[in-house]
Amino acid sequence: MVLAFAWYQKFKPKSAAEIDCECDDEKPKFINSKGFLFLITLFVGVMLAFPYYSHIFYSSPETNKEIVYVEQSNVKEIRVTIEGMTCTGCEAHIENEVNKLDGILKVDADYEAANTIVKYDKTKVDLQKVETAILSTGYKIVK
């Protein structure tokens, strides 16, 4: 809304009083120019679209993990309810951080359901380490 108003102000027709008063032939400062307004509009657009391309900044867990065979009795699955996730970028942030732990088999974060499902080898990692990794991202765990 602010940008729309700023663009309107730049392109609105001038009144007769403003036209008669144009005695100042000086070039406007860059901060008052259409170029600056264009750059700000472009920057805002890139930042608003961030959730749609944020996954680029996180490595894919499938390509970085080596295949490890785990005895089925050692595999444990937990569901952690997380508060504060708002987009797919949040999901990627949590998944990336938890995947750094040794013994993690699969991490699936879902911001719409506000939870994360973690499969891990209980002989290599425990629930406390998983929760610490999630908390290190800045999100809160709901108990």
- Residue 88: count other Cβ atoms within 10 Å of its Cβ: 17
Mean pLDDT, rounded, of the chain: 85
Q: Output 44 or 27, whichever has higher pLDDT.
A: 44
* Amino acid at the residue 102: D
- Chain segment 74-96, per-residue pLDDT in tens: 899 999 999 999 988 889 899 99
pLDDT for the residue 24: 58
**How many residues would you count in the chain?**
143
Neighbour-count burial of 97, counting CB atoms closer than 10 A to its CB (0-12 exposed, 13-18 middle, 19+ buried)? buried
- Name 8's Cβ contacts closer than 8 Å, sequence gap at least 6: none
pLDDT for the residue 30: 85
Q: How far is CA 87 from the centre of its chain?
A: 6
Answer yes or no: pTM beyond 0.75: no
Is the pLDDT score of 23 beyond 70? Answer: no
Considering the chain, what percentage of its residues have pLDDT values greater than 90? 43
Is the pLDDT score of 108 beyond 90? Answer: yes
